[in-house]
Structure 1
Amino acid sequence: MADRSLSDIVSKLKSIDIAMLVTKTGEEGAIAARPMSNNKDVSEQDGTSYHFTTDDGRIDDDLKRSDQCGATYSDGEFYCAVQGTGKIHRNRTVQEKHWVKDLEKWFENGLDTDGLILIEVSPKRIAFWDGREQGEFTP
């Protein structure tokens, strides 16, 4: 196990904007992945991340069917796999806490975008590889 703290890994995840968010999809539970920004919004306490999207795609249906999800990150020789659960937030007050101005390039109407949802990914396991170092956390 590498001599890294969860805080070290979270700091790295904050610096990597795009993650591949993975869900189970369809009746058969196949795997689906799509790129999502974490907006540098990753909890220092446990690695929870937040991702905005709209409810007109498959991801909200996937998370309604099964809350199991994950996110993968990479940057150079650093790789990280987060496995956990996803929760959909439609509450504007919750969304306001995680909104950043840069999101307006994707959501022209900002927080007033029709069908806007916030996906909270709560990790159960965080595994990382950095060159020859590797480690795992269960927050």
Structure 2
Amino acid sequence: MKFHAKIWQKLSLFLSVVVLVVASFAVSASPAAAETYTIKMGADNGMLQFVPSNVTVKPGDSVQFQINSVPPHNAVFDKVPGGDAGFAKSLSKDQLMFSKGDSATVSFASDAPKGEYSYYCQPHRGAGMSGTITVQ
């Protein structure tokens, strides 16, 4: 009887270790988390530009537009893959931001069309303040 109890005890310990190892693989194999990229609105040197002006993201990622210098700024999308003006408008952050640190975030859904999304700052478009987000 003691012999059977020891076998069951060792078998239970072995099975517990196997379950623990398998569970640790499942936890460590989780999918990559979405990232958030920051684009400064206004360069550190006072130039009217987005920094960086070109960003590459993946579906599911977000881009945060943050006031840095020479406000006011906004981010208006004018060209999107497929040319859907309504979709471009839905991504746009038309509201002018005035204070350093103010921000607006654009999220690209997991099913976002791949390609180039161009945007500009409405008050400074004539100065060339524009950029591109590429969704790969």
TM > 0.5 between the two? Answer: no
Q: TM-score, normalised by structure 2?
A: 0.30
> Whose Rg is larger?
2
Higher share in strand? 1
Q: TM-score normalised to the size of structure 1?
A: 0.30
The structure carrying a bigger helix percent of its residues is 2
